[in-house]
Structure 1
């Protein structure tokens, strides 16, 4: 075995120490580049992207290619102060791999190392993608035409770690795995004044309160209950004294749907509600809804069924069917353009994703790599 458990553990621990935020993953990029350069072979091409300088792609020329298989790993971290007390905790204050991208990168490096020593039958592209957590790295990469010509995969695969699953368990479904999401930002603008004379003002706090309440009908009365959706307000900012009505209130939240059509319908409904409340209360309500690259993660049914059948029948792989989740992931943008499959990888922790205490079970690393590697090798034996 050319890739050992110690190798993957080392990748993960060293990457865990150097988390960086979206589009600023320069130390991470240099670490990844140094590793893949150390495995350089004559059937392997390393590609950097000046327009997206923290991105990195590796292409393996297949020995008897029938297709090009893509594998994607995100590389950015979150603005969270780590609280795990691990000896390899983040050395960057206020930044942490609290969503498991250190795990994602480690498995991608392991797959890269394996194929550098075992030339694949099909062409293989490994994509280390910046800016998944924000700034739409998947969308940026696609719009920069990174996946054109020999660099375009016929199918794309990727994982996301899941603390609720046993370490090393793989899980997915044929269909939509994760929701599409949009960032909601709202400014309710009125005319402030003394709280004792409310008839002389246009109160943005009352308007904001009405808006927040009415937004709950977007899902309960505007979405098919079988399909579902989410509208949640996470921040409210407005006012500065108990006896002063302010001029402005700012709100931020998230909108989520399991289908792209559903997301568009919800976004249109939110705008109509805001316009109506603004008119009724003599306010101005400015709404920003940005989905970026966070479109639904829609697994290609044929590719997903093929993967599920393989993993279900392999006694060495712990696999279970997944249920759809309202999680957002910008791999969804790439899957709108290139068919593929995303899977959960169980990492067995009591703390959720984005927790300062997230501490994955490293037993997931080797079993996850072996399952993914064996599937990719199997896929290359198939004719279609």
Structure 2
């Protein structure tokens, strides 16, 4: 029986694209995956779940002569985005969309899994279908629940993320850090509301928020080594109700991003210090919540990544490219702190529509090269 064809991969991807679900609520996706994987049942395959993360799926393939356990991870959740692609297989769930391409990720993982159910691997393999990548750090949740113990513990872990700016089917990665680590900023300043005509009788939380927004612009420009880089962005600010009422509270949401954990921790301290300073200066109450969770920098293992790059460069059937690091966040970074491994980009050829765009439409011509590239590389790993 042959591997999945390009047409079969497209059908799977389109089925999954129709049913995007948010973090930790991927019930229909879970059902679809379990049914499809169950239809491929072979004597050397075991499928299980994680009670603490009920939409997660783990698949174990026993090797013929195992020297190691190779892990492969895919994320399965979607985003709260209203789709505007016009595709005939567009999302059927209002306000939710696979705008980050996790339907592509799942399809490639299923293609790789199908190959090794038809061709029993030499080494043991663990496939992790992970909920809650976009938020709620599903990888960390699974790890903290003890999911990767005993035979489920990978000796090396691999995964991919689609990239609309790269040609369909191209695989790209780099030695060192591929993606940044991230931290959510959630901040509320509480003052005293009052009439706009009597500011001395109120305490303006909006002014405090404005001062904070301006001051955090110095966190990167005056604290981070310029050759390393970082980002502090405040993307959401809500304060007040009407123009002639002084705002008694202001709420801000934002993000911290950097390629090194030491820089992220320094930036967290500076953001906290600025918030506390603004609170003291303007006499407002400060409620700051910084959440990193599992979103650590995606740091590729030097040895495994060098092997992957060397293998893919020498295979003329694989379109491989080197690439610069990106400020994209990915909670696979947490798992790469626990297990050596590598993440790569898979080009999906839609340069006009970036990740998280309501119009992002990956080219399905990327699916078969993604499957083939990883099947070849993982087979090579088993021969080491």
Question: 1:81 and 1:243 mapped to 2: Cα distance?
Answer: 35
Deviation of residue 202 (structure 1)? 1.8
Shift of 1:77: 0.6
Question: Match for residue 202 of structure 1?
Answer: 203
Q: For residues 234-272 of structure 1, what are the alpha-carbon distances to aligned partners after superposition, in whole Å with 9 as ceiling and x for unaligned?
A: 111011121211210111111101111111110011111
Q: What does 1:212-227 align with in structure 2 at a 5 Å threshold? A: 212-227=213-228
**Structure 2 equivalent of residue 40 of structure 1:** 41
Residue matched to 2:357: 355
- Rounded to whole Å, the distance in 2 between the matches of 1:240 and 1:109 is 50
Any unmatched runs of 5+ in structure 2? none
| CA offsets 1:259-308 (integer angstroms, 9 cap, x no match) | 11111110011111111111111111211110111111111111111100
Residue 375 (structure 2) pairs with residue 370 (structure 1): no
Deviations 1:323-351 (A, max 9, x none): 11000011011111111100000000021
Tell me the distance in 1 between the aligned counterparts of 2:333 and 2:128.
15
Match of 1:244 in 2: 245
- Separation (CA, whole Å) in 1 of partners of 2:337 and 2:219: 25
Question: Deviation at 1:3?
Answer: 2.1
Does residue 271 (structure 1) correspond to residue 250 (structure 2)? The answer is no
Partner of 2:53: 52
Aligned residue in 1 for 2:154: 153
- 1:49 Cα shift? 2.0
Report the Cα distance in structure 2 between the residues aligned to 1:243 and 1:50, rounded to whole angstroms: 52
Tell me the equivalent position of 2:100: 99
Counterpart secondary structure, 1:336 = helix
Q: State the match for 1:83 in structure 2.
A: 84
Q: Which residues of 2 match residues 254-293 of structure 1 at below 5 A?
A: 254-293=255-294
| Residue 201 of structure 1: how far off its partner (Å) | 2.1
Give the aligned partner of residue 25 of structure 1. Answer: 26
Q: Aligned residue for 1:177?
A: 178
Per the TM alignment, residue 2 of structure 1 is displaced from its structure 2 partner at its CA by 2.2
Distance 1:210 1:52 in 2: 41
Matched positions, count:
382
Runs of 4+ with deviation above 4 angstroms: none
RMSD (Å) for aligned C-alpha atoms: 0.9
Aligned residue for 1:166, secondary structure, equals: coil
For 2:338, what is the secondary structure of its paired residue?
coil
| 1:93 positional shift | 1.1
Q: In the TM superposition, what is the alpha-carbon distance from 1:51 to its structure 2 partner?
A: 2.2
Q: How far 1:69 moved relative to its partner?
A: 0.3
Deviation digits for residues 92-116 of structure 1 (CA, Å, limit 9, x no counterpart): 1111111000000001111111111
Q: Is the 8 A contact 2:3 2:111 kept in 1?
A: no
| TM value normalised by structure 2 | 0.98
Residue 121 (str. 1) matches residue 122 (str. 2): yes
What's the TM-score, normalizing by structure 1? 0.98
- Deviations, residues 177-233 of structure 1 (Å, cap 9, x unaligned): 000001101101111212222222221111111110000001001111111110111
In the alignment, does 2:318 pair up with 1:317?
yes
Partner-residue secondary structure (3-state), 1:158: strand
Task: Give the Cα separation in 2 of the matches to 1:39 and 1:65.
Answer: 21
Aligned partners of 1:296 and 1:51: how far apart in 2?
25
